[in-house]
Structure 1
């Protein structure tokens, strides 16, 4: 089972096993990780699961689709190079070790 590291804005680290097939957002929700609110439940209809992907991992993720790009416009302090919505990242074995950092707040 892939391990995903969630870093809170204050530096607190949470390393959790996330089953393949779930999203990075579902992994956070199911493990009570603070900082990912996921108000829309994963429908890509809000930006409250916004994270910054560790630079070592960004190129290993599938590209953003147009809907995710549009929703990131509503995120708090988006970074065009590193911001992603965790509801749009499906966990695979290839993501074992993925590191994501939460912004200071979600909108």
Structure 2
């Protein structure tokens, strides 16, 4: 289980425990965190689970694959270094303490 902090665009923080094996997106969905829509259900076929990863975590995450890179092209104001799709981030003990911030909107 990992404690993950989701920060809404307006600054509201949600700190939740997400079970190992789920994705960061599923953790948001299961805890009714606003700002992550996940329209495709985690299939990496949209960009509605886009977040900005806290700068301290960027190098601790696995690299983006080509599919995630392609989908991020459709995200609202993607940041080349910090943008990730939460459906592609599998929760493990190594993600304990992860902080993500939602964009102003999902598209």
Q: Which residue of 2 aligns with 1:32?
A: 32
Question: Unaligned 5+ residue runs, structure 2?
Answer: none
Q: Which residue of 2 aligns with 1:58?
A: 58
Q: Deviations over 1:43-89 (max 9, x none)?
A: 00000000000000010000000000000000000000100000000
Q: Which residue of 2 aligns with 1:67?
A: 67
1:77, 1:2 → 2: CA distance? Answer: 28
Matches within 5 A, 1:1-107: 1-107=1-107
Give secondary structure in 1 for the equivalent of 2:60: coil
Give TM-score scaled by structure 1 length. 0.99
Give TM-score scaled by structure 2 length. 0.99
Question: Unaligned 5+ residue runs, structure 1?
Answer: none
Q: Give, in angstroms, the shift of residue 33 of structure 1.
A: 0.1
